[in-house]
Structure 1
Amino acid sequence: MTNKFPRIEEPSLRADAARNRERILAAAEEVFLERGSDASLDDIAKRAKVGIGTLYRRFPTREALLAAANDERLMALANASRRRDHKLQPADSVRAFVSDLVAHACHYRGLAAALGAVLKSGTPGCHASGEEVRRLLERAQNAGAVRKDVSFEDLVCMVVAISLSVEQGSTTKPRIAHLTDLFLDGISVR
């Protein structure tokens, strides 16, 4: 299946710079999984065996690093949504993608709180996921299945709220579908 979301070409990096970038991303994934998304960027640089300046040259903010570390997963979510879209009614497509995004936001501790900024970062996967949410929402609104006053930001807030609830232990992962259903039922046209 072809990728429905074209990758934005990044400027070519020197071989050593590309290796450093990959080492930083691999180290970030490990450290974020171990300690959460608020883990020390110094620790990530040390694990990647690069200086902190090298990390900041590649990723000037924590959100930029989080976005890059999650880029491929977010691209995969958007592409999976596109592949199943023709099989689902518009409201069910929104429900499925929102559920996937909530599960993704629980990938490591602290990601949920940064999800809104991450989705706005402009990496290819973040862009594709944001565009997919907007496309699905518009499709459901045009079909009369979702209220017209519901926005992209509303859906992101809901994803963050459910994800934070799961992360903080007040909700179990099996309840994700239930909470997602409650929210989506609330925005449905009756």
Structure 2
Amino acid sequence: MTNHGLRADAERNRERILVAAEEAFLERGAGVALEEVARRAKVGIGTLYRRFPTREALLAATSDERFVALAETSRVRAAALGPGDALRQFLEELARNTSLYQSLAASLGTVIQHGTPGCTAITAEGRRLLQGAQDAGIVRADAVFDDIICVVSAIAIAVEKDSAPTTHITHLVDLLLNGLHVR
């Protein structure tokens, strides 16, 4: 992680909060009590809220590196794929990332609006791929990125307790893209 213009002790607290949140979200889901995150990080709840004023801000921060990596991988991979396949790959990866923390999907739309580098990268890449598929005449012109996020959230919710989430995600993304196809 990088320094965010914080004093050294404040930066250490921020990092401890992120590590504790990652562990808690992986173990108990995105709905875990923030008091538990603060306890695990060995900071007061006020310190947690000063750094991350909302649960969604904390979720955005813990997802940041994964979202940056997803966007970068997508951009590289998209060059070798057609616009439809590039959009499909991106949607599947975003749904997989969103289902990493149980219950993250319910707030994905709010989480990605937090302006972290990862959230900004995901939004830009998603819009770029959607526009490319629309320009190629593959995806309906009336589809917007927010629609895609709503459906990706629904897909991630649907597979949260699935024993074969990857297969189910692929199937649901296929259904989504069939619905978005230009007729």
TM-score in same-fold range (> 0.5): yes
* Change beyond 3 A, Cα 1:171–1:158: farther
The ranges of structure 1 where at least 4 consecutive aligned residues each deviate by more than 2 angstroms after the TM superposition are 168-173
Q: Return the alpha-carbon distance in structure 1 between the equivalents of residues 69 and 165 of structure 2.
A: 24
Scaled by the length of structure 2, what TM-score is found? Answer: 0.95
Q: Return the alpha-carbon distance in structure 1 between the equivalents of residues 76 and 123 of structure 2.
A: 16
Partner of 1:181: 174
Scaled by the length of structure 1, what TM-score is found? Answer: 0.92
Partner of 2:114: 121
Q: Return the alpha-carbon distance in structure 2 between the equivalents of residues 173 and 32 of structure 1.
A: 20
Q: Which amino acid letter does the alignment assign opposite residue 54 of structure 2?
A: T
Q: Which amino acid letter does the alignment assign opposite residue 110 of structure 1?
A: S
List aligned pairs for 1:137-156, cutoff 5 A: 137-156=130-149
Partner of 1:70: 63
How big is the shift at 1:11? Answer: 4.3
Whether 2:100 is the aligned partner of 1:107: answer yes
Q: Return the alpha-carbon distance in structure 2 between the equivalents of residues 173 and 109 of structure 1.
A: 15
Whether 2:24 is the aligned partner of 1:31: answer yes
> Which structure is higher in helix share?
2
User: Does the residue aligned with 2:166 lie in a helix, a strand or coil?
Assistant: coil
* Change beyond 3 A, Cα 1:33–1:11: closer
How big is the shift at 1:13? Answer: 1.0
Q: Deviations over 1:80-122 (max 9, x none)?
A: 0011111011111110000000000110111111111111111
Whether 2:91 is the aligned partner of 1:98: answer yes
Q: Return the alpha-carbon distance in structure 2 between the equivalents of residues 172 and 78 of structure 1.
A: 21
Q: Return the alpha-carbon distance in structure 2 between the equivalents of residues 172 and 83 of structure 1.
A: 25
Whether 2:14 is the aligned partner of 1:21: answer yes
Q: Return the alpha-carbon distance in structure 2 between the equivalents of residues 172 and 155 of structure 1.
A: 19
Q: How much identity, in percent, do the aligned residues show?
A: 57
Q: Which amino acid letter does the alignment assign opposite residue 20 of structure 1?
A: N
Partner of 2:40: 47
Partner of 1:6: none
- Select the residue among 49, 56, 81 that pairs with 2:74: 81
Query: What is the aligned residue count?
Result: 182
RMSD: 1.5
Instruction: Check the 8 A contact 1:33/1:108 in 2, yes or no.
Output: yes
Q: Return the alpha-carbon distance in structure 2 between the equivalents of residues 85 and 33 of structure 1.
A: 29
Q: Which amino acid letter does the alignment assign opposite residue 46 of structure 1?
A: R
Q: Return the alpha-carbon distance in structure 2 between the equivalents of residues 177 and 163 of structure 1.
A: 11
Q: Return the alpha-carbon distance in structure 1 between the equivalents of residues 69 and 84 of structure 2.
A: 21
Q: Return the alpha-carbon distance in structure 1 between the equivalents of residues 88 and 14 of structure 2.
A: 35
